[in-house]
Amino acid sequence: MANKTLVCTLCNGEMELYVGPKFNRKVGGALVAAGAFSTLFWVGAVLGVPLMVAGAYMAGAKRELWVCKDCNTAIERVVVKPKSRSFKKVQ
């Protein structure tokens, strides 16, 4: 598949793909640390495990943006999946 370039609608500049964090990684790390600390206590284990899972997701989640090289306009990239072919067309 050939690389297609997008054109910015504001300045007609070329846009490039940027992959970066979706959430703040420091907050995700803090949630993992708080979850690990709370699992040390018997009652806190119920809250600690979900905190660690949510923190690990926040620390590792990525998002893709199209960013204009000239004016720094950013557009979030959305991948659209084709519809399922399992349904038959009714005429």
Q: Tens digit of pLDDT for each residue in 12-46?
A: 888 888 888 888 889 999 999 999 998 888 778 88
Does residue 62 lie within any of the structural domains? yes
The range of the structural domain enclosing residue 48 comes to 6-76
Give helix then strand counts, H and E, for the chain.
2, 4
Is pLDDT above 50 for 1?
A: no
Residue 49 located in a structural domain? yes
β-partners of residue 81 are none
| Count of domains for the chain | 1
| Residue 20: inside a domain | yes
Q: Is residue 64 part of a domain?
A: yes
Q: How confident is the model at residue 55 (pLDDT cuts 50, 70, 90)?
A: very high
In a domain, 34, yes or no: yes
| 72 secondary structure, DSSP code | -
Residue 88: is its pLDDT beyond 70? no
Q: Which two tokens stand for residue 18?
A: 């940027």
Q: Is residue 26 part of a domain?
A: yes
Q: Is residue 11 part of a domain?
A: yes
Which position has the token pair 């119920």? 46
pTM: 0.62
Q: Are 23 and 55 in contact (CB under 8 A)?
A: no
* Burial class of 55 by CB neighbour count within 10 A (0 to 12, 13 to 18, 19+): buried
- Across the chain, mean pLDDT equals 82
